[in-house]
Amino acid sequence: MIELAFVLATPFASGLILALIGHWRGAAEINSAGSLITLLAACVLTARVVSEGPMTLFDEQFFVDPLNVFLITLTALVGFTTSLFSRPYMRVEHEHGRLTIGRLRLYHSMFQMFMGTMLIALSTNNLGVLWVAMEAATLTTVLLVALYRTPASLEAAWKYFILCGVGIAQALFGTILLYFAAERVLGHEGGALLWTHLDAVKTQLEPTVLSLAFVFLLVGYGTKTGLVPLHNWLPDAHAEGPTPVSAVLSGLLLNVALYAIIRCKVLVDGALPTHFAGNLMMGFGLLSVVVAAFYLARQKDVKRLFGYSSIEHMGLITFAFGMGGPVANFAGLLHMTVHSLTKSAIFFAVGHAAQKAGTQVIDDIRGLLKHSPTIGWGMMLGSLAILGMPPFGVFTSEFLILTTAIKHYPWATPFLLVALGVAFAAIFGKVQGMVFGEPNVADLPHRPALIPVFVHLGLVLMLGLWIPPYLADWYRQAARLIG
Amino acid sequence: MTPAVSGQLINLFAAIMLLLGFAMLSQRRIITLINLFMLQGIVLSLSTLVVAQSTGQTHLLWSAALTFVLKVIVLPYILHRLIRKLSIKWDVETLINIPTTMLAGIALVVIAFNVAQPISQLSGTITRATIGIALACVLLAFLMMITRSKAVPQVIAFLAMENGLFFAATSATYGMPMVVELGIALDVLVGMVILGVFFFQIREQFDSLDIRQMEKVHEE
Please tell me the predicted confidence (pLDDT) of residue A201.
86
Beta carbons of A184 and A265 less than 8 angstroms apart = no
Q: What is the ipTM of this complex?
A: 0.89
Domain count, chain B: 1
3-state secondary structure of A439: coil
Cβ within 8 Å, pair B198-A158 = yes
Tens of pLDDT, residue by residue over A431-460, are 998 898 888 877 777 778 788 999 999 999
CA distances from residue B63 to A400, B27, B170, B214 in whole angstroms, order as listed? 49, 29, 9, 38
Contacts of B212 in chain A (CB under 8 A): none
**Who wins on pLDDT, A221 or B58?**
A221
Main-chain dihedrals φ then ψ at residue A163, nearest 5 degrees: -65, -45
A193 touches chain B (CB under 8 A): yes
Q: Choose from A58, A147, A160, A166 for mutation: most chain B CBs within 10 A.
A: A166
Cβ within 8 Å, pair B145-A152 = no
List the single residue in B with minimal CA-CA distance to A61. B179
Please report, rounded to a whole number, the percentage of residues in chain A having pLDDT higher than 90: 50
A176 touches chain B (CB under 8 A): yes
Q: In this complex, which of A128, A152, A166 lies closest to B176 when CB atoms are compared? A: A128
Tens of pLDDT, residue by residue over B8-67, are 888 888 899 999 999 998 888 888 889 999 999 999 999 888 888 887 778 888 888 888
**Who wins on pLDDT, A5 or B86?**
A5
Cβ within 8 Å, pair A143-B194 = yes
* Cα(A280)–Cα(A215) distance, integer angstroms: 8
Main-chain dihedrals φ then ψ at residue A47, nearest 5 degrees: -60, -40
Tens of pLDDT, residue by residue over A376-398, are 999 999 999 999 988 899 999 99
Q: Which residues contact B219 (CB under 8 A, 6 or more apart)?
A: none
* Cα(B41)–Cα(A207) distance, integer angstroms: 33
The string over B118-146, giving b where at least 16 C-beta atoms fall within 10 Å of a residue's C-beta and e elsewhere, is ebbeebebbbbbbbbbbbbbbbbbbbbbe
Contacts of B142 in chain A (CB under 8 A): 166
- CB-neighbour burial class of residue A192 (10 A; exposed 0-12, middle 13-18, buried 19+): buried
- Does residue A113 register a pLDDT over 90? yes
List the single residue in A with minimal CA-CA distance to B197. A143
Q: In this complex, which of A128, A142, A155 lies closest to B177 when CB atoms are compared? A: A128
List the single residue in B with minimal CA-CA distance to A235. B218
pTM of the model: 0.92
- CB-neighbour burial class of residue A209 (10 A; exposed 0-12, middle 13-18, buried 19+): buried
- pLDDT (tens, 9 = 90+) of chain B, 220 residues, equals 677 788 888 888 889 999 999 999 888 888 888 999 999 999 999 988 888 888 777 888 888 888 899 889 999 998 888 888 877 766 666 777 888 888 999 999 999 888 888 777 776 655 667 888 888 998 999 888 888 877 788 888 888 988 888 888 887 777 777 777 888 888 888 888 888 877 777 777 776 666 666 665 554 4
A136-140, A150-154, B40-44, range with the lowest pLDDT: A150-154
Cβ within 8 Å, pair A169-B220 = no
Please tell me the predicted confidence (pLDDT) of residue A55.
83
Q: Choose from B137, B194, B211 for mutation: most chain A CBs within 10 A.
A: B194
User: DSSP per residue over B43-55, as a string?
Assistant: HHHHHHHHHHHHH
Contacts of A142 in chain B (CB under 8 A): 194, 198
Cβ within 8 Å, pair B187-A132 = yes
Please tell me the predicted confidence (pLDDT) of residue B216.
55
Main-chain dihedrals φ then ψ at residue B126, nearest 5 degrees: -70, -10
* Residue numbers of the domain that contains B178: 3-216
Taking phi over 0 as left and psi of -120 to 50 as alpha, with beta for the rest, A115 belongs to: alpha
